[in-house]
Amino acid sequence: MPSSGTASPSRRERWAASGRAGRHAVDSTDERGAMSLNGKVAIISGASKGIGRVMSELFARQGARVVCAARSAALVEETAEAVRKAGGQAIAVVGDASTEDGARAIVAGAVKGFGRVDAVVNNAGDGGPTKPVQDYTTEDWFYTINSCLTSSYMMTRFAVPELIRAGGGSIVYVSSMAGRRGLPYRIGYCSAKAGQVGMTYGMALELAPHNITVNAIAPGAVEGDRIDRVIAGQAQVRGVPVEEMRRAFVERAPLKRMSRPEDIAALAAFLCSDQARNLSGQCIAVTAGEPAV
């Protein structure tokens, strides 16, 4: 049929006009319907290394403008620079997410740099020591709780007004199977990670009227420096060789392997995309097949 001279509206234009754009106010699927984070501004805390760095790189490849946040100025700038060198958009914001001033500065930096906030991935947190409860000091307890749990509360508190202003968004808490199933000699970490799961459930209900989805990821063992430290600590407390302890961590997973940071990052990206618009109030285990309960 000959053209009438008026271009047909694109899929993106039809989507925006339909009123469905209210979820995040930006369409995060490409023209083929494939998942992307195109146009979104995502804050990733704990972005200096490990899972947070991998997340920053993946989110940028999916089209997000990434706010890399962490306490270490040198390391978080390395992450942001790696994203930019790969062709992505990223800024580094230095701040301690477990403090009011730090969390406020991170959110303010995102708004200053990119004008809005559409997604927050709460990945910050140091797992603290591995030791019997009778040796676990008050300082150990508050350090771990503040690092892993208070940081999630602070980031949520200061980011929610911006998510509401954006018309909706996504919050993801990177919890742990230690918060679902427990792990000996890690009382602070288990308690903090269980707290993140409870925070997920409560925030999902509270923020649903604002079009904000809230979910948690509960990884099992994930390759990297952190699990190496945990395995070494468990081996020391139990009096067994480190390699024997490592084999035990791997063998208990039916797939006989640890997860990779990329596995956690991919799930976080999905949860922040519009393809997950009806997924909220969930804690999703990534365990290489090990039952979640």
Catalytic residues: 189
3-state helix, strand, coil in the chain (%, to 5): 50, 15, 35
CA 289 vs CA 221, 239, 253, 292: distances in Å: 12, 28, 6, 9
Q: What are phi and psi of 225, to 5 degrees?
A: -65, -35
List, in order, residues 6 or more apart from 73 with CB less than 8 Å away.
Answer: 92, 94
Residue with token string 């990177």: 174
Q: Cα–Cα distance between 152 and 147 in angstroms, integer?
A: 9
- Spatial contact of 38 and 25, defined as CB atoms under 8 Å apart: no
Q: How many CA atoms lie within 13 A of 37 on its CB side?
A: 33
Q: Cα–Cα distance between 121 and 207 in angstroms, integer?
A: 16
